[in-house]
Every structure is written in C-alpha cells, then in structure tokens.
C-alpha cells in the first residue's frame, strides 16, 4: 500500500461508511464531467433550463457516474488488490455492498432518465452499457483511455437531449472535446501505473508507447480539446465572454502538463486541481455568456 492510500485510509475511520463509499467511487471527481453536462444544458435552454430538468440531469449524472465507478471497482476487485496504488480500495466497503449499490444506482439512473423524456429513457440502457464497457477495454485494447473519454462524453450529449429531445451538432462537438480532454489526462494519470500495467499485461497506450511519447500524445489531445471547445462556441453561437474563458482553460492544461516530474501526491493534486478548474471555467463562461445576452 503506497503512502497516498495509507493517508486516505487514515482520514476515513470505520465509523464513517458514507465517507468510505464516497472515497471508493471518488465522488469528488464528479466535478470533472458535470460542468460539461450543465454547460450543454444551459446552451440548449438558451440560458434558462427549468429547475425540474436541471435537477433530473444532475441526478442522472450522479447515478450514472456512481454506477460506472462501482462497476469498475467490482470488475477490477482482485486486480486493484495487487496494485500498490489501489491496494486499499477493497477495504473501504464489502464487495456485496458494492454490488447492491451498483444495482441501486443503475435503476436510479434509468428511472431518472425516464422522468425527463421518451428519448432519454430509450437511450439510458445504451448509455449505461457504454460507460460499463470502458472497464472491460483494458483487457483487449490499448485505446482504453479513449473509451473512458467516450463514457464521459455521453454527459453533455445526454443533457442536450434532456432539454431539446433531439441530437444536434454542438453537443457532438463538445463531446469530441471531452473525449480528447479525458484521454489526455488519463494518459498522464496512467504513467503512475506503467510498471504495474506492464508486469500484469494490462493494455495501455502508456505501456505500448512508453511514458515520453504518451505524454506528448496527451499534449496533442489537449490541444485538440481546446480546438473543440472553440468549435462548440462557433456551432452553439456563443459570444465573446465564452471565448474569453479559453485562455484560462489553456493555462490550466499547460499547468497539468508541468506535473509529470512531480511525485505521486503532486500528480494527484495537480490532476484534480487542473481538471476541476477547466470544468469550472467552461461552465462559468457558458452561463455568463448565455445569461447576459
């Protein structure tokens, strides 16, 4: 068990089951994808989604991400125990509790999606299948980072459908940006597991390309993400305030790519701060741009 895991365990005592559950599913990382879903919703609603739709989209996001993380933990239960970085995960809650929570969150997601409109209800099982599929990809493809991006890219597309009842070009452009963004930061994050993944035969672009080339690919992906955000602004007819936020996004991405020489704790800290900042800037830029027009 590494120092990062030991510190995480020390902060969560046996009498804090909810805190242990949130730690298992990395609930704080919900801030990565949620702002892109809310941003797409705000644009689709021209700045003023109904409170009902807003709440249902948030509920769907929380349930879907919780289900995805629990499925990932269950599929990798024995594998995580062999990885020094993740060896303490199975101690947080019993496997039976994780399985029950997975079923509960999956049903909750489908019910919440069904309460929005007919199309979201019809697409909900497909969305679940896609986000679950990511957890299996490391067993047969090195492109697993892009499948993770696809899982998160469902969020803005789904939010757009929740508001409009149809699929349009802007959320697809934004979804492409999310794929590039997630794949890029997942490549950086995966460098921590390079030795373990190579030893266990786990498929990863970091193992296939090596750390140096993987980090260069991550840089290119984040440039593509920035271009996609600009493309989203064009297709969604956003204004100068939105584009004014793009230099801040670029600065946060640049900072993230300066973390490769940090230790594990430094990488984790910079990873969370940079990506949370990118999400927040995007959402604020969209909301302000739409609301003051």
The tens digit of pLDDT for each residue in 52-63 reads: 999 999 999 999
State residue 18's pLDDT score.
64
Domain count, the chain: 1
195 CB-contact burial (10 Å; exposed 0-12 / middle 13-18 / buried 19+): exposed
Domain-embedded: residue 16: no
Asked whether residue 9 is assigned to any structural domain, the reply reads: no
Distance CA 61, CA 57 (A): 6
pLDDT tens readout for residues 94-112:
788 889 989 999 999 999 9
- Answer yes or no: is 36 within a domain: no
- Tell me, what DSSP letter sits at residue 143? T
pLDDT score of 87: 61
| Domain of 263, in residue numbers | 45-291
Judged against a pLDDT cut of 70, whether residue 5 lies above it is answered with no
The reported pTM is 0.84
Banded model confidence at residue 191, pLDDT cuts 50, 70, 90 = confident
Residues whose CB falls within 8 Å of the CB of residue 137, separated by 6 or more in sequence, listed in order? 143, 144, 147, 203
- For residue 106, the model assigns a pLDDT of 96
Domain of 208: which CATH number? Answer: 1.10.357.140
pLDDT tens column, 150-188: 999 999 999 999 999 999 999 999 999 999 999 998 888
In a domain, 186, yes or no: yes
Q: What is the pLDDT of residue 184?
A: 92
- 140 within domain boundaries: yes
Please enumerate in sequence order all residues whose Cβ is within 8 A of that of 235, keeping only pairs 6 or more positions apart, or say none.
169, 170, 173
In a domain, 135, yes or no: yes
């Amino acid at each position: 068990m590494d120092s990062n895991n030991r510190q995480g365990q020390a902060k969560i005592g046996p009498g804090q089951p909810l805190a242990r559950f949130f730690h298992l599913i990395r609930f704080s990382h919900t801030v990565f994808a949620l702002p892109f879903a809310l941003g797409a919703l705000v644009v689709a609603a021209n700045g003023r989604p109904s409170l009902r739709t807003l709440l249902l989209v948030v509920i769907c996001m929380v349930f879907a991400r919780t289900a995805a993380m629990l499925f990932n933990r269950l599929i990798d239960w024995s594998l995580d125990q062999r990885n020094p970085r993740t060896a303490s995960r199975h101690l947080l809650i019993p496997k039976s509790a994780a399985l029950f929570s997975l079923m509960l969150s999956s049903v909750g997601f489908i019910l919440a999606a069904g309460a929005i409109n007919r199309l979201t209800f019809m697409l909900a099982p497909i969305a679940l299948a896609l986000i679950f599929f990511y957890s299996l990809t490391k067993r047969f493809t090195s492109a697993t980072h892009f499948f993770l991006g696809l899982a998160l890219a469902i969020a803005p597309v789904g939010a757009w459908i929740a508001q409009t009842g149809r699929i349009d070009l802007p959320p697809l452009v934004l979804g492409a940006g999310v794929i590039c963004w997630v794949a890029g930061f997942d490549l950086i994050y995966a460098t921590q597991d390079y030795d373990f993944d190579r030893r266990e035969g786990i498929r990863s672009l970091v193992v296939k390309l090596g750390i140096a080339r993987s980090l260069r690919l991550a840089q290119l992906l984040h440039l593509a993400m920035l271009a996609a955000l600009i493309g989203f602004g064009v297709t969604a007819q956003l204004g100068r305030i939105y584009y004014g936020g793009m230099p801040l996004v670029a600065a946060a991405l640049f900072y993230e790519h300066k973390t490769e020489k940090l230790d594990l704790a430094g990488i984790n800290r910079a990873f969370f701060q940079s990506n949370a900042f990118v999400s927040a800037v995007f959402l604020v830029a969209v909301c302000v741009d739409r609301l003051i027009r």
